[in-house]
Amino acid sequence: MPPRPSPPAQLFPHRLPRPLLLPVTALKHLREQVFLAGDEGWTGEERTDIGGDASVSPTPTYIGCRGWPRHRVRCIAGDADTTDPSSGTSTSLRDWSSPSSENTSDGETEADVETRGLAFFAEMATQAASPSKEGRYSYEEYKETADWLLANTEHRPMVAIVCGSGLGNLADLLKEQVAFKYEDIPNFPKSTVPGHAGRLVFGNLNGKPCVCMQGRFHMYEGYPLWKVTFPIRVFHLIGVQTVIVTNAAGGLNEDYRVGHIMVIKDHINFPGFAGQNPLMGPNEDRFGPRFPPMSDAYDRDLRKLALSASRDLGFAAELHEGVYCGLGGPSFETIAECRFLNRLGADAVGMSTVHEVVVARHCGLRVLGISLITNQAVMDYNSEARANHEEVLKAGRESEKMMEKLLTTLLPRIETNNNVN
Ligand SMILES: O=P(O)(O)O[C@@H]1C[C@H](O)[C@@H](CO)O1
């Protein structure tokens, strides 16, 4: 075994109560949640994803938690005793030195941080060690979550609403609410983005039984697409028939203004072009077919209902039908990219939705997509405008009343099979 080097200074060492044994395969899965770095790859706190691979790293491996405040990204130092993936043996993770009781900047002691770090890590380890986590959820896990929800609420929603950035308050419209934090629901991922609260809210919207995702999951958070779309299949299993996906989007169409609404007519799944499709991998026939069509992804009757509701509400002039282009994010688009997408036929651009829609259609759910135009995409090299998340959230807050009215008017009109002419 190579001699054990000193830990990098930026790593705050934490003591493990005892060596933690994990199979090498578990470490591979942990890469989705935490970053792993060999000695050579470590460049300090500025780096959040070093992308070393424990299974091939010849040097000791450090593990930190993605998404933690950076000064806390220093969870556990490890001693990779056995790193040969072919051996299938275990990797032991040990502490480097003793903890201190020094306070961190927000008053939490290092001991608290350590406790949290260990709890987080233990959870990750448990999840990673589960055989079903080999790249996807098993049917039984979707079912487990669905059954848990059905056992914990009497609500039986027909419609699910996914709230986009800044649109989480839509969930407040529901009456007779029963809400669950994502972290309390078995198998549910966790929201990490500001403006995505991370609660599943059941209730009635204008008499219609609904469930609202107050916060969605995005590819750029580091989640694989089978996690991003996990709730959609759960909705199917609890009896939901229609999903309304909302999002914040940048307007590419020159007629679109901030605060306008776009009913999604079609989408361009850009990550899909690069092989990032949530249906990649073995098909689960109990959800749907291997090769689902997408030419009817956005339900024509639901689109008509949305357009007629907007006419009834008097804001038809602010409502468009258009094509949404989903990208991976988290960087906003360059000017050249915006021009390119616009020429391709996209009217609005965002970082979500398309994966949820693919999975929803795969399991036969009807889909209505609604984009709130929160900013105009920058298309001009002379422009000083810069897209930013604060602006997106602000536009969401400013237009929430319009979105609320649209949904409140629309929901009671949704039948199992609308046939609107
Ligand atoms: O969840 P959505 O698609 O509404 O959120 C958009 C895309 C990014 O998450 C974020 C950028 O501001 O808003």
Q: What is the pLDDT of residue 112?
A: 59
Rounded to the nearest 5 percent, the helix, strand and coil shares of the chain are 35, 20, 45
- Show pLDDT as tens, one digit a residue, over the chain (421 residues): 444 333 333 332 333 333 333 333 344 444 333 333 333 333 333 233 333 333 323 333 334 433 332 222 223 333 333 333 333 333 333 332 223 334 444 565 555 555 555 555 555 545 544 444 456 899 999 999 999 999 999 999 999 999 999 899 899 999 999 999 999 999 999 888 887 789 999 999 999 999 999 999 999 999 999 999 999 999 999 999 999 999 999 999 999 999 999 999 999 999 999 999 999 999 999 999 999 999 999 999 999 999 999 999 999 999 999 999 999 999 999 999 999 999 999 999 999 999 999 999 999 999 999 999 999 999 999 999 999 999 999 999 999 999 999 999 999 999 865 544 4
Orientation angle between helical segments 230-237 and 139-152, nearest 10 degrees = 60
Q: What is the pLDDT of residue 61?
A: 38
- Spot the catalytic one: 45, 92, 138, 220: 220
- Ligand 1 pocket, residue 191 CB under 6 Å: no
Q: What is the pLDDT of residue 282?
A: 92
- Ligand 1 pocket, residue 352 CB under 6 Å: yes
Q: How many angstroms separate the alpha carbon of residue 194 from the centre of ligand 1?
A: 10
User: H/E element holding 122?
Assistant: helix 110-129
C-alpha–C-alpha distance, residues 190 and 65, integer Å: 13
Q: What is the pTM of this model?
A: 0.72
Q: How many angstroms separate the alpha carbon of residue 247 from the centre of ligand 1?
A: 6
Mutation to probe ligand 1, out of 170, 218, 332, 354 (largest number of atoms < 8 A from CB): 218
Ligand 1 atom with minimal separation from the 220 CA? 9
Q: What is the pLDDT of residue 84?
A: 33
Mutation to probe ligand 1, out of 191, 351, 376, 397 (largest number of atoms < 8 A from CB): 351
Mutation to probe ligand 1, out of 247, 261, 264, 357 (largest number of atoms < 8 A from CB): 247
- Residue 221 bears catalytic tag: yes
Ligand 1 atom with minimal separation from the 332 CA? 11
- Ligand 1 pocket, residue 328 CB under 6 Å: no
What length does the chain have? 421
Q: Is 271 helix (H, G, I), strand (E, B) or coil?
A: helix
Cis-peptide into 99, omega within 30 deg: no
- Residue 105 bears catalytic tag: no
Residue that is written with structure tokens 């915006």 in the block: 338
- Which structure tokens are listed for 145? 């979550």
- Ligand 1 pocket, residue 329 CB under 6 Å: yes
How far, CA to CA in Å, does 267 sit from each of 34, 287, 316, 378?
Answer: 32, 22, 22, 20
Is the reported ipTM for this assembly greater than 0.95? yes
Ligand 1 atom with minimal separation from the 330 CA? 8
- Which structure tokens are listed for 376? 């105009």
Q: Compute, in degrees rounded to 10, the torsion defined by CA atoms 146, 147, 148, 154.
A: 90
- Ligand 1 pocket, residue 350 CB under 6 Å: yes
User: H/E element holding 344?
Assistant: helix 335-344
Q: What is the pLDDT of residue 194?
A: 80
As separate numbers, helices (DSSP H) first and strands (DSSP E) second, the chain gives: 10, 14
